[in-house]
Structure 1
Amino acid sequence: MDFKDVLKKFDKEGMRGRYMTESFMLNLLKLHLESQGKELILGDNSKQPMFTAYAPAGFDNSNLPTYIEITSTISFSKLMWRIDRLIAILDKLDNKFALLFISTKPLDEKFLADFRNYKAGHEVNIYIWGPEHLEKVAFQHSEGVKKLGENLFSLRLESAIKKEQTNWKDSRSRLVDDVKDAYKSGQFSLFLGAGVSSSAGLPDWDTLLNSLFVSMLTSELNESNKNESNEISSIVKRLREVDGPSALMSARYIRKGMSISGVAEQTRFVNTVTEQLYKLRDKRYCIDSPLIKSIAAMCMPGRTGAKVKSVVTYNFDDLIERELSKREITHKSIFEEIDLPSPEELPLYHVHGYLPEDKAQYRNLDKSTLVFSEEGYHKIYNDSYHWSNLVQLNNLKESTCVMIGLSMTDPNLRRLLEIASRSIEKPKHYAFLKRVSLDKFAKDGSKKLVNAPQATISTFLNRHHSLNEEVLKELGVNILWYEDYDDIPKIITEITKSIQ
């Protein structure tokens, strides 16, 4: 497999293809530098992880430390802005350095002429390569290129799992700075998951299902006076531990178990879910949790207008709406296709359905597609043009999205992310995910949970986190790691204050 064959192979595979192309180019460059007795360090392991790679001894005839960046889209104005910004940062670190930009796309003559004029105004050595430059390099290492093409996936995997993870908080700080820039632009959306609601004490999925099982069994057996709910709960909990049905299947079973007929069935089911959702709230948590407050504050319009374009929520509850109303932020809850916000309203799209505690404030709630059971999920997943899919996809394509309280495992969301990632060069979305700490993974108090040396466990966890980062990057998402839930509202507040 030669150089051109490799580029063609991954050209149509979206974000994943771009990363594979980048991996091929980096390994080719590494092979080239090693033949000169020089080193290539990947960005995440170098002193400047904002770059794709770093050559401390330079390359070819240059011995200057060289910072390298690979890009698939070259806009002259954007490149000049990027170079100016990087030079301002690097001037504080290195007395002398060089920059090498590598484009995966051919460069036209006008671009190269503009670049030469721009370059003449800088003392810094700036180089730009197109595919033709790399093809010449590849020709010098034909046997090596063949091996790279045959083992590219293994090399990419190895690169991913060997990334240094000790400075993850520094990496997060750099990502937060990028989020601030996106927030200031106003092309910014929030995607909210169950973690947001649980911060206010609302039940998680399993707790809600367990309670609905109790409600169903009590009703069906007509033994509410004979069996205490905690007894039934204990039985159901053990049954679920033994049988382990999926949550969606359980929900479908509950819904069918409660059924009577037609509209009455749906009404009964929805009323039961709504009742249990708010009844089971853990009162030890404030209903306006610090996380919910920080999200609402982020939605507050500033002097230059609203910065949050829209909110997409997978939660049924109305807790965000309550906090927005308290702050007098004009908003509209949207849970059906025909509903549209006015220009001054912040839209809150309940793409899995909406179950407000006070239903009297809303009309047409019965038309909301409640994605609680298998039927509801299949209805949306299989309908590419369902309004909720179009809303999510539009936001993923048109905005920078920050995902809070989501596990990022939902197959429909991942499918939509993959579609949206085909039109972007680099990951532009961000997701808060909890990092597995060494102590909590290996021990439960004084009890040892893993029979392995601490160093081995630490290496495994580092590689686990690195692989998660790479998987989500291929879907266009950067991970904002946290270890403590309290970190999330603090970071959101920091982003919000960046425009003040």
Structure 2
Amino acid sequence: MKIFISHSSKDEDIYTNLADSLRKQGHTVFNAIDINIGENWIEKIKNALYESDIFIAIITENFLSSSWAQAELSSVVLGTNNIRLLPVVVGDVFVPSFIAQFQYRKVKTEEEIISAVLTDIAKLSNIEDNPSLFQKKGIAQVEENNLEEKIDLLKAALIDNQLTLVCGAGVSRDSSIPTWNELLVNILNEVYSNDHDLNTENKVTAESLLSLMPQSNLILGKYLKIILKDDFNKTVQKHLYLYYNQFYEFEPINPNLETNMMKAIVELSRPKRRGKRLESIITFNFDDLIEGALSNHNIEHISIWKEGQAYGIDALPIFHVHGFLPNKRDIIKPNLVFSEEAYHSQFIDPYSWSNLIQLNTFSTNVCLFVGLSLSDPNLRRLLDISWRRNQRCKHYIIMKKSPQKSRTDEIATMLFEQDANSLGLNVIWCSDYSDIPSILLKIAK
């Protein structure tokens, strides 16, 4: 049989030993070193994949960090030829869902790989008696099993006081807090609201301005800061909480009115019998909704948004790494990362307090990311640095999975998970945003 072994270059010894053993059994194993100088590398790989009978993927931490190895795997998973896929998972590597949907072999040590692979390939001669071998599993059952396993690991991190919750805008989506674009639109509309002399056709609208400047909304933030000057922070604060305050105008804020997301975050933050709880919260949001929810339940906490702030060991630290703008009080220097120059300043300063907090947390704790899209270049850079430094510390991100109605949907889902894996993140898929609080509550139990 013709066999293609996909592996990370860091696992060359594993590949060599397995390939030698397969060749001794009479199989033909593709070897990249056989590609001559001047030949089309990609075309040779494609032809080798197409002509192979079996594709073996050696799944290690190195493999999940290798873009090239994962690209080879993607071409097989989404391919149309009849190549049989045999993933071999080595050690305690968590199996991504795009791999787990296939029957895979799991071994504890590198030494077990050869005997396991030879055993499975021998079964191919009697494949009718082994119909499940090399076949796909039911994806729903795979994801359910994966979810339970990940929840157990996150529970263990919480009990050990090593779990950090990392929050993006998605955690505030049900609390009447505007999205980034909505906030910009609302502030821009106020800035241009005095332009009464223009007729309707010539009047500037914030929506049209945003559509004409898709390259970066941070650019608009820079100009708003220039135009509003000393009123900038107050204006942002006003529009940040405008709908939230209108909603609660005639209703006192109490625990019964909290969203399911805030209730779940409260439960994660609540000290357990053994005194364990979240180690910290990192948020990219300006608002103080989490603080308000924790206060309602008498959970001791402290907001950190600038360098030099101290806190006691009994207080749960909430790090506002993009600045802090509480609802009912004014603070000096909220340090908002709202405009392009503020973002660039944070990006280029490796010793900024916010970068150091994130790097240290990503390198030492288990982090659960909620309400983020992984599109922030600075966050991606910090995750990549911490993952390169310590590949023993894996993190998790909860993401809504779009319905897999087309090949494009499948590719997008797989590429996102591969990208997350390369940054040290395991993906927890859910079918709807409303499922996220229930996942958090399972971890908190």
TM-score between both structures, scaled by the size of structure 1: 0.62
Local SS of the residue matching 1:316: coil
CA contact (8 A) 1:426 1:476 kept: no
Structure 1 equivalent of residue 371 of structure 2? 405
CA contact (8 A) 2:189 2:205 kept: no
Q: 2:235 aligns with which of 256, 272, 288?
A: 272
Structure 2 equivalent of residue 384 of structure 1? 350
1:492 to partner: Cα distance: 0.5
Structure 1 equivalent of residue 171 of structure 2? 196
CA contact (8 A) 2:58 2:90 kept: no
**Superposed, which structure 2 residues align to 1:75-474 within 5 Å?**
99=107, 101-102=109-110, 127=111, 167-219=142-194, 221=195, 223=196, 235-259=205-229, 265=230, 268-281=231-244, 288-359=258-329, 365-426=331-392, 428-438=394-404, 457=406, 459-474=407-422
1:423 to partner: Cα distance: 2.7
> Would the alpha carbon gap of residues 258 and 20 (structure 1) be closer, same or farther in structure 2, given more than 3 Å must change?
farther
CA contact (8 A) 1:316 1:356 kept: yes
Amino acid at match of 1:273: V
Structure 2 equivalent of residue 36 of structure 1? 25
1:35 to partner: Cα distance: 6.0
Structure 2 equivalent of residue 7 of structure 1? none
Local SS of the residue matching 1:359: coil
Local SS of the residue matching 2:241: helix
1:491 aligns with 2:445: no
d(CA) in 2 for partners of 1:300, 1:354: 23
1:280 to partner: Cα distance: 3.3
d(CA) in 2 for partners of 1:366, 1:232: 39
1:405 to partner: Cα distance: 0.5
1:425 to partner: Cα distance: 3.0
Structure 1 unaligned spans of 5+: 1-17, 45-65, 72-81, 83-96, 103-126, 135-161, 260-264, 440-456
Q: 2:90 aligns with which of 47, 51, 70?
A: 70
Amino acid at match of 1:274: Q
Cα deviation 1:369-391 (Å, max 9, x = unaligned): 21011121111111110101111
1:234 to partner: Cα distance: 8.1
> Would the alpha carbon gap of residues 235 and 315 (structure 1) be closer, same or farther in structure 2, given more than 3 Å must change?
same
d(CA) in 2 for partners of 1:36, 1:460: 39
1:243 to partner: Cα distance: 4.2
Cα deviation 1:349-386 (Å, max 9, x = unaligned): 111111101115xxxx3233210111211111111101
1:249 to partner: Cα distance: 0.7
CA contact (8 A) 1:353 1:368 kept: yes
d(CA) in 1 for partners of 2:186, 2:285: 18
> Would the alpha carbon gap of residues 244 and 418 (structure 1) be closer, same or farther in structure 2, given more than 3 Å must change?
closer
Cα deviation 1:18-38 (Å, max 9, x = unaligned): 955358846973684476379
- The CA RMSD over aligned residues, in Å, is 3.7
d(CA) in 2 for partners of 1:34, 1:490: 51
1:483 to partner: Cα distance: 1.7
Amino acid at match of 1:186: N
> Would the alpha carbon gap of residues 99 and 333 (structure 1) be closer, same or farther in structure 2, given more than 3 Å must change?
closer
CA contact (8 A) 2:268 2:278 kept: yes
CA contact (8 A) 2:160 2:276 kept: no
Structure 2 equivalent of residue 5 of structure 1? none
d(CA) in 2 for partners of 1:68, 1:483: 28
Amino acid at match of 1:330: E
d(CA) in 2 for partners of 1:99, 1:301: 38
Local SS of the residue matching 1:348: strand
Cα deviation 1:407-458 (Å, max 9, x = unaligned): 111111111111111232356100111212135xxxxxxxxxxxxxxxxx2x
Q: How much identity, in percent, do the aligned residues show?
A: 32
d(CA) in 1 for partners of 2:290, 2:416: 29
Structure 2 unaligned spans of 5+: 1-6, 28-53, 60-85, 93-104, 116-135, 249-255
> Would the alpha carbon gap of residues 280 and 35 (structure 1) be closer, same or farther in structure 2, given more than 3 Å must change?
farther
> Would the alpha carbon gap of residues 41 and 191 (structure 1) be closer, same or farther in structure 2, given more than 3 Å must change?
same
Amino acid at match of 2:311: P
d(CA) in 2 for partners of 1:209, 1:245: 15
CA contact (8 A) 1:201 1:287 kept: no
CA contact (8 A) 1:334 1:347 kept: yes
d(CA) in 1 for partners of 2:164, 2:298: 19
Structure 2 equivalent of residue 21 of structure 1? 10
CA contact (8 A) 2:304 2:320 kept: yes
Amino acid at match of 2:165: L
CA contact (8 A) 1:351 1:388 kept: yes
Amino acid at match of 1:269: F
> Would the alpha carbon gap of residues 419 and 242 (structure 1) be closer, same or farther in structure 2, given more than 3 Å must change?
closer
Local SS of the residue matching 1:347: strand
CA contact (8 A) 1:427 1:473 kept: no
1:463 to partner: Cα distance: 2.8
TM-score between both structures, scaled by the size of structure 2: 0.69
Amino acid at match of 1:70: V
1:227 to partner: Cα distance: 8.5
d(CA) in 2 for partners of 1:384, 1:348: 21
CA contact (8 A) 1:431 1:479 kept: yes
> Would the alpha carbon gap of residues 196 and 303 (structure 1) be closer, same or farther in structure 2, given more than 3 Å must change?
same
> Would the alpha carbon gap of residues 19 and 492 (structure 1) be closer, same or farther in structure 2, given more than 3 Å must change?
farther
Local SS of the residue matching 1:367: coil
d(CA) in 1 for partners of 2:159, 2:376: 29
Amino acid at match of 2:180: W
Local SS of the residue matching 1:258: helix
d(CA) in 1 for partners of 2:373, 2:87: 35
> Would the alpha carbon gap of residues 359 and 26 (structure 1) be closer, same or farther in structure 2, given more than 3 Å must change?
farther
